[in-house]
Structure 1
Amino acid sequence: MSGFSHPFVRPAALALAAVALAAAMGLAFAGWLEHAPAIFMALVESGLAWCF
């Protein structure tokens, strides 16, 4: 049966990709909250903090 696929495969794959992207962005945001002072001080030391 060539070309056989269930109608829910594409939406399920898109939903899985959306959940994975949301998880990655959540971890990045949590990392920013955790390390924001150190990131800011690194920018200050390198002279790049003017944009804040």
Structure 2
Amino acid sequence: MRSDTKKSLSPLILALVTGALALVFLLTFQGWIAHGADIFLSLAQTGLSWCF
């Protein structure tokens, strides 16, 4: 009888991917905090803020 088992991701790879995603989200959030008002004002000037 032959049974194929799925290999799970290595905990190290999972931790690295999670850390990379957390870093991307952190940088995105920091950029939104720093430039959010400017982004919203530029959207408001073009009339796109209601679509956002």
Name the TM tier (shorter chain): 0.7 to 0.9
Structure 1 stretches of 4+ moved >2 Å: none
CA distance in 2, matches of 1:40, 1:28: 15
Specify every segment of 5 or more residues in structure 2 that has no aligned partner in the other structure, as ranges.
1-8
Partner of 1:30: 30
Partner of 2:5: none
CA distance in 1, matches of 2:30, 2:11: 28
Structure whose residues are more often helix by fraction: 1
CA distance in 2, matches of 1:51, 1:33: 20
Alignment TM-score, normalising by the size of structure 1: 0.75
How many residue pairs get matched?
44
Please provide the CA RMSD for this pair: 1.6
CA distance in 1, matches of 2:10, 2:45: 48
Alignment TM-score, normalising by the size of structure 2: 0.75
CA distance in 2, matches of 1:10, 1:46: 48
Letter of the 1:10 counterpart: S
Specify every segment of 5 or more residues in structure 1 that has no aligned partner in the other structure, as ranges.
1-8
